[in-house]
Amino acid sequence: MQLTKNFYKIEFESRDGAKMPDHVLQNIKELADNLQKVRDILAEAININSGYRSEAHNKIVGGVKNSQHLLGKAADVSMKNYTSKELAVIFEDLILNGVIKEGGLGLYNGFVHYDIRGTRARWNLSTKYKDFYK
């Protein structure tokens, strides 16, 4: 199922093969719409490392109990020509300018977590960019 010009439902599916509930799919569509705006601006493919997670898969990967991934409101993303720090700065700028929805933004080694929870949350679990978000 095509969600936007460049994103497909399969990219956001739980990696354990669990069926995506309908209410989660609605959130995934909104998330994909926001990520499409980023992709259009940067004119480069966005890799979805993790989207929706079933409870079982979330537990396996060490996700937090109240993870936005469980709701289909989060994606861990990377891009070929941008470091995770560069991506975090871009996402932050787009949020501040009202281009994409406010939510969670987490910096990790090799990827950025972005979610559409609707309230601001920021964290840095990157050892490479440990002074970011201080």
Per-residue pLDDT of the chain (134 residues), as tens digits, is 999 999 999 999 999 999 999 999 999 999 999 999 999 999 999 999 999 999 999 999 999 999 999 999 999 999 999 999 999 999 999 999 999 999 999 999 999 999 999 999 999 987 776 777 65
Cα(20)–Cα(23) distance, integer angstroms: 8
What per-residue confidence (pLDDT) applies to 128? 74
What's the pTM? 0.93
Please report which residue ranges of 14-83 form alpha helices under DSSP H: 22-42, 55-60
CATH number for the domain spanning 91: value is 3.30.1380.10
Please enumerate in sequence order all residues whose Cβ is within 8 A of that of 87, keeping only pairs 6 or more positions apart, or say none. Answer: 77, 78, 79, 112
- Does the residue 2 lie in any domain? no
- Does the residue 57 lie in any domain? yes
- Does the residue 133 lie in any domain? no
Q: 56 is in which domain, residue-wise?
A: 9-124
- Does the residue 22 lie in any domain? yes
What per-residue confidence (pLDDT) applies to 13? 97
Number of domains in the chain: 1
What per-residue confidence (pLDDT) applies to 134? 56
What per-residue confidence (pLDDT) applies to 23? 95
What per-residue confidence (pLDDT) applies to 18? 95
Contact 68, 104 (CB under 8 A): yes
